[in-house]
Amino acid sequence: MHTGFGDPPWPPEDLRDRAYRRSDLRANEVLWRVHPVGMSPVYFGRSGRYRFDAPYHTGVLYAAAAADGAFVETFGRGDPVDRRLLEDRAISRLRVPAECGCVKFHGDGLAVIRATAEVASTRNYGLSQGWAAALFEHPLTPAGICYRVRHDNDEIGYALFERVGCLEVASTERLIDFADVWRLIEKYDIDYFK
């Protein structure tokens, strides 16, 4: 339901009857994830603190198609970064074990489900979480949501539902040791303090 000109829409009442556009993850495709050191890279959160969380329905794991997307989703908010923060975070490559279909929540995938791009970038997490819950309940049982990353919309992010299955950890390293970390800090003009 659209609440007025310029307001991002809530999921339509007939969403369950609409076929969504799919964005398929292929078997063995690699996704990137930034997470705290000491926490499993495969973690489906239920806190309700993040954009597409659906805590009453499923846990959600956030990842990106490229290291750039995972990095900017974590550090692109404009806060300065110091060495300790880079030492306390890891970057992992996760392998998708089998093909799975996600809702394409960008491009032509938006209009067919009556969404707009603002839903994926709004600060109104109640709205984006409402979409996540409605999509989780869709009868076509999507594995998650494929969306444009808020701080770099050239990058693709994924909010994967627990039903995606067991993701395999291909590699994990501390962010401070990651070969591209300085390129990413420079690319996104992140304030770095030693």
DSSP 18-87: SPPPEEEEPTT-EEEEEEETTS-SS--B-SS-STT-BTTTB-EEEEESSHHHHHHHHHTTS--EEHHHHH
Residue 50 and residue 70: Cα distance in Å, rounded? 14
Q: Tokens in use for 138?
A: 């869709």
CATH class of segment(s) 24-102+142-193: alpha beta
| First CA to last CA distance, the chain | 48
8 Å CB contact between 190 and 75: yes
The neighbour count for residue 157, using CB atoms within 10 Å, is 29
Residue 175 and residue 188: Cα distance in Å, rounded? 15
Angle, CA of 6, 7 and 9, to the nearest 5° = 125
Residue 142 and residue 136: Cα distance in Å, rounded? 7
Residue 49 and residue 113: Cα distance in Å, rounded? 24
Residue 133 and residue 127: Cα distance in Å, rounded? 10
Per-residue pLDDT tens digits for 37-61: 999 999 999 999 999 999 899 999 9
Q: What is the predicted pLDDT for the residue at 105?
A: 98
Partners of 32 in the beta sheet? 64, 93
Residue 57 and residue 134: Cα distance in Å, rounded? 10
Angle, CA of 14, 163 and 121, to the nearest 5° = 60
Which residues in the chain come in under a pLDDT of 70? 1-5
DSSP H or E stretch at residue 146? strand 144-149
Q: What is the predicted pLDDT for the residue at 130?
A: 97
Q: Tokens in use for 78?
A: 């404009």
